[in-house]
Chain A
Amino acid sequence: MQNRTAYITAAAISLTLSVGLVFFVVNAEINKTKNILDQQAHDLYQHVNDNFKNSKVVLDSVAALFQTMGEVDNDQLSQYSREMLEDYPYLYAVEYFTKVDNAERVQFESDMRESGYVAFSIKQYAGDAKQSLINSPQQTTYFPLVFMQPLDVTTAQLIGLDGLSDSRFSAAFKRAIATGEPSMSAPVDLMEGGQGLMLFKAVYTKSVLPVDLNVRTENTFKIIAVLIRIDDLLSEQNRNNFSFAQLRFLNGHEDINTNKEDLWSWSNGLLQAYYRDFSLSFDDKKFNLEFNKTIRWEDIGVSNIVMALMLSAVFAILVFWLTHLRLVFLKDKRKADEAHHQEKEKAEITLYSIGDAVITTDIDGGVEFLNLAAEELIGMQLSDVNGRKLNSLMSVKGEENPEDLQELFWTFHKPDGLVLHKDPLKLVNHHGSEYVVEISISPIHDLAGDNIGFVLVLRDVGHIRKLSFQLEYQATHDPLTDLANRSEFERRLDEALIQSKAYDKQHALCYMDLDQFKIVNDSCGHLAGDHLLKQLATVMKSCMRDTDLLARLGGDEFGVLLFDCPVEVAETIVLKIKNAVSDFRFVWDEHAFDIGISIGLVPICSQSISTIELMRNADTACYVAKDNGRNRIHLYQEDDSELAQRFGEMQWVQRIRNALQDDRFFLAVQDVVSLSNTDNEKHREVLLRLHGENGETIPPMAFIPAAERYELMPQIDRWVFCKTIEMIGAIEACDCLYNINISGQSLKDEDFSNYARNLLAKSSVEPHRICFEITETAAISNLNTATQFIHSMKELGIRFALDDFGRGMSSFGYLKTLPVDYLKIDGSFVRDMANDAIDYAMVESITRIGHVMGLKVIAEFVENDTTVELLRELGVDYGQGYGIHKPETWLVEKGCPLEHRLSKKAV
């Protein structure tokens, strides 16, 4: 509707202006036409004037002819007249009247008749309606017309007409005679229609104009006349440019309005839009030349009007276009306004929604806007604080020094945008509530770049800081014991080392490992272990100075940093810790456990190399302490042989990895022989060997400890199992049972069971050809996982042997929960059983228990036949050892090569 109105308005404007334009152009054209008409009228006026003058010239010339020649031959005059009439087409006739005194009249008339005018007489108009001519009555003098050029049938009758007595001519005649100058008659009707003006000029018998009027009359012998046809005074072509043109004869009066006589009029128009008149005079005659023109469309320049219409059309299009543009602009502006409003709404909602407090102020800090967060921060609503100075609503203080808010503004009063206050400030609002905030202040500039206010964004960082503290705490502390964690410990160790190097200070580092912790953890669960750790942390902390740092490094390992502590003092503190732990008795679910702790102590001095070196030394010292019987302290010293061994182990780590990578491990087999001769199934233990970098064969005890300590056993176990499956798969119709040692680390590795299962599934090896040997220690240390592993593997058909049974002096009760098939008596009991009654008893007891539990018993380290015999007596099922079969490299083609020899030995 609005658009329609706008377009209608545009149309109205276009129409109005177009009409105006057309009117203007038409008016201009009319004026132009009037100017042209003015010029034409003036030209016509000039033309008439000239015609009068030229008529006079003709008259004068003819008169001069007579004046100089006396008598002029009619033929000669006719020729001259014809030329004049041709040259001056408005001249209708050239005539002359000759003076005839009354006494000469008869002879004159006779002569005229004799000359061919057969009926000639001096005549005058009778005055009747028919304009008939009659013989002129007697009078003193006559001026009959004797020559007329042209002479035609209608005018020929005028030959003989007495001009002097003619009422129309007499006055002009007399004036001509009296003045010697051309005179003009009043308008006369022409016989063939129209009107004419007669000009007369007297010719005297003597060339000189007589001075005396009477003499002039006397001497006049000819009156020359020219007849002007009024219609022809104006050229037809020019006259036709006007609707109406007329020469008004005024009878000598100036007042054309009241006393004028139309000479002729000519009209072809309807309206008189143009009028112009000119005054003319000749002799005593006054004329008014009037022009009138009804200006019609065809008189106006059509091209200009068309141009005006085209311009109008263009203008209309322009107006419509501008209107359209304006509407589009308004529409766009409305959209932009709506979008702006929406954006503003969004911005305000966003500002209200965001957690940061947003405050805008004027240049003087007067509040102009608060979002919801700002209202909460300030504790007042925008309507309450609008225009109030911001520093009257809140104050800000630095962490250390108070800050003046207004000064902050001016500090940040820079034209280049956002400025962030680097340090969090403490904000105290109107109600005294305190917040820790970060403030960013941005100046607001107008288009000229002048600052007109500020935008403050205040972020409440109190929660963040708290969270940050928490995260920092969590990052540096053990969540269970609230002690520093390993990373924090190492950071502090760095600091201590730096201090030592910088200030030559002495500190001490302790690496502590709980003894028997796994037993508590495994037997009573993790919760018990956790409690134990927490309690021990408290116990240990109580033994330390406030400046010392106790950290849980992982599992049951702890670290202590003793700052500014000589090694002697450190030993005292560490001993105190050891004793406190030893004295501590942990009770859980009616179970009581004595806990020991092995501690490695390393002094930190300016000569200490690095944090890593310190930690490795402490770890090694701790291991040595543990290896030396647990619950003791081992002080690291340079050239420490025990530590050297430990370092040797550490070097094995990389060698093992290299060997795995270079595939330098290989397998050996050692037969396990039935001692009862009742079991035909052949047994064989798969043994691991290593080719050294120089090709030598390295026994397993050289690298297994290092592999166990550095968690490399799962990789080695996988390689052994894979290689064994490969070897078995290569044997056709294998009926042996292959015993494969599985470390405790692999027992805890849930992926190992999957690995074994998948490998078996892909191979042709029957799982019941496989027997996993796990040590008693490993099984008991990971009792739950070991139990689960055994069950899952036995489902496949794999059998289990509990290796080194008896070494750990474990409770036999564990056997109830471990579904093993074989017990392998620790070789230390078997080796000297022939000479040591206790060992014999142990072998006997274990064999008995095994059998009671339905297990087969295998004796290791059978090195001689005596032992074989003793074992048979005790009912031990299998024997294994150098006395039966020495391990040899496993070659596939060998199949089961030792069967025969074993049988022979057994014999």
Chain B
Amino acid sequence: MRKIAPAILLLAMTLQLPSAWAEDKHRCLFISSYHIGYAWSDGIEAAVYQHLKERCVVRSVYLDSKREPHPEKIEKRAHKVKQLVEEWKPDVIIAADDNASKFVIKPYYRDSDIPVIFCGINWSVEEYGYPYSNTTGMVEVMPIKSLLNFVRKTVPNARNGVFLSADVMTERKDYQRYKKVFARKGIKLNKELAATFTDWTTMYHRSQSYDFIIVNNNAGIVDWNEKQARAVVTESGQRPTFTVYEWMMPFAMIGVTKDPAEQGEWAAKAASSVLKGVPISTIPIIPNQRWNLWRNDALSNMAKLEIPLSIKIKSRPYKENK
């Protein structure tokens, strides 16, 4: 799989070659940190295309950093992207998710003449030194306050919760933020960070002793077994579970998830404004503003948990095949 990745990238790049008629239009280069088929980045890309198709020719490149996370490989792909930028000369670059900024924008286009709109960067942009003079964008923040509200509505007397996630840096940062927010409402939030699926299973079982469980990202658990994970949750899940990631909805009863389309839409609108001549410096970096509310009735029913009516009304039922 890893051997054919460059070929897929090239193929993807070839498929995205602009046609001759597009020479007169603006050129927008979309740099995806991941690959085609990754739901999150696919959502961003789709929104970008939808909002920019009338404004410019969009060309996409993929760093495939999710499937090929080795830095050297990512750097090589980033370099090729740089070559493409030099050849194609896009009028604006949209960098989706962290690795695009980390491996392409920061090393090659910091304070350059090419406007760059980033999106999907988790919480802090400090790692990449943003904002540059030629950048703006939307950071990806967890809907912690919203999640807290739903936790409180679901478990009114919640005092002790757990944050179950992969044991990676990002999750550790997220835990701190969660902990801080929850603490303001008098809720103690503990952490269970798993490096392996077995750990995650063990931790999940252990988390059943808390008032609620925040099932956070599983990204980073290399041996993640989706099927078994579902079986564990189905068999053992007795406590209210919450998540902010859509792909974790099979393991949570209520989900407040980010909307990748908001990231792509914002990036596209910002790029469009830049192409119209709006100084990029006047467009501030803002966090994402809207969330999707899901409910997993199967899990809540098995746990005999009554989801509050206000949540039922606002939420969309999560289905297994989604």
Contacts and interface: CB of A to CB of B under 8 A. Distances in A.
Contact of A119 (B131, B278, B290): B131
Interface stretch (B74-82, B84-92, B94-102, B280-288): B280-288
A157 B143 contact: no
B149 A116 contact: no
B125 A118 contact: yes
Contact of B139 (A118, A151, A154): A118
B275 to A, nearest CB: 12
A106 to B, nearest CB: 17
A153 B145 contact: no
Instruction: Identify the interface centre among A75, A114, A151, A159: most chain B CB within 10 Å of its CB.
Output: A75
A156 B266 CA distance: 11
Contact of A153 (B177, B283, B289, B290): B283
A73 B273 contact: no
Interface in A123-162: 149, 151-154, 156-157, 159
A906 B149 CA distance: 199
Contacts of A118: 124-125, 130-131, 139, 284-286
Contacts of A151: 286, 289
Query: How many interface residues does chain B have, given as a range?
Result: 20 to 34
A75 B269 CA distance: 21
Interface string A86-123: 00000000000000000000000000001111111000
A74 B287 CA distance: 12
B52 to A, nearest CB: 13
A78 interface: yes
Contact of A116 (B123, B270, B278, B290): B123
B167 to A, nearest CB: 23
A115 B287 contact: yes
B236 to A, nearest CB: 30
A151 B124 CA distance: 20
Contacts of A153: 266, 269-270, 273, 278, 283
Contact of A75 (B139, B145, B270, B284): B145
Contacts of A3: none
A512 B247 CA distance: 177
A116 B286 contact: yes
Contacts of A864: none
Contacts of A154: 273, 278, 282-283
Interface in B234-292: 256, 266, 269-270, 273, 278, 282-291
Given A116-B123, A118-B131, A153-B270, A74 B288 contact: no
A74 B124 CA distance: 19
B231 to A, nearest CB: 32
Contact of B291 (A75, A152, A159): A75
Nearest to B267: A153
A116 B141 contact: yes
B62 to A, nearest CB: 25
A616 B73 CA distance: 185
Contacts of A74: 145-146, 289
Interface in B278-316: 278, 282-291, 314
Nearest to A75: B146
Contacts of B143: 75
Nearest to B138: A116
B286 A117 contact: yes
Contacts of B177: 114
Interface in A31-75: 73-75
A303 interface: no
Given A152-B269, A154-B278, A75 B141 contact: no
Nearest to A82: B290
Contacts of B291: 75
Contacts of A116: 123, 139, 141, 285-288
B141 A115 contact: yes
Instruction: Identify the interface centre among A73, A118, A152, A153: most chain B CB within 10 Å of its CB.
Output: A153
A76 B286 CA distance: 18
A73 B284 CA distance: 22
Given A116-B141, A119-B131, A73 B146 contact: yes
Contact of B284 (A79, A115, A149, A156): A156
A126 B287 CA distance: 25
B97 to A, nearest CB: 15
A871 B12 CA distance: 192
Given A118-B130, A118-B139, A78 B289 contact: yes
Given A73-B149, A75-B145, A117 B290 contact: no
B225 to A, nearest CB: 32
A73 B314 CA distance: 14
A157 B289 contact: no
A157 B287 contact: no
Contacts of A73: 145-146, 149
Nearest to A69: B149
Contacts of B141: 115-116
Contacts of A75: 143, 145-146, 256, 289-291
Contacts of A78: 289-290
A152 B130 CA distance: 20
A114 B142 CA distance: 11
A153 B125 CA distance: 18
Interface in B125-178: 125, 130-131, 139, 141, 143, 145-146, 149, 177
A129 to B, nearest CB: 14
Contacts of B130: 118
B120 to A, nearest CB: 12
B150 to A, nearest CB: 9
Interface in B22-53: none
A120 B125 CA distance: 13
B141 to A, nearest CB: 4
Contact of A76 (B131, B146, B266, B285): B146
Interface in A7-24: none
Interface string A580-624: 000000000000000000000000000000000000000000000
Nearest to B136: A153
B116 to A, nearest CB: 14
Instruction: Identify the interface centre among B124, B284, B288: most chain A CB within 10 Å of its CB.
Output: B284
A125 to B, nearest CB: 13
Contact of A117 (B149, B282, B287): B287
Contacts of B125: 118
A73 B288 CA distance: 14
A605 B226 CA distance: 180
A711 to B, nearest CB: 148
Nearest to A116: B287
A157 B284 contact: yes
B136 to A, nearest CB: 8
A116 B130 CA distance: 12
A74 B286 CA distance: 13
Nearest to B285: A118
Interface string B95-128: 0000000000000000000000000000111000
Contacts of B149: 73, 76
Contacts of A79: 290, 314
A119 B146 contact: no
A76 B143 CA distance: 11
29 contacts: A73-B145, A73-B146, A73-B149, A74-B145, A74-B146, A75-B143, A75-B145, A75-B256, A76-B149, A79-B290, A114-B177, A116-B123, A116-B141, A116-B285, A116-B288, A118-B139, A118-B285, A119-B131, A119-B284, A149-B289, A151-B286, A153-B270, A153-B273, A154-B278, A154-B282, A156-B283, A157-B282, A157-B284, A159-B284
Interface of B: 123-125, 130-131, 139, 141, 143, 145-146, 149, 177, 256, 266, 269-270, 273, 278, 282-291, 314
The 3 closest A-B pairs by CB, nearest first: A116-B287, A118-B285, A116-B141
Given A119-B131, A154-B273, 9 more contacts: A73-B145, A74-B289, A79-B290, A116-B123, A116-B139, A116-B285, A118-B131, A151-B286, A157-B282
Interface of A: 73-76, 78-79, 114-120, 149, 151-154, 156-157, 159
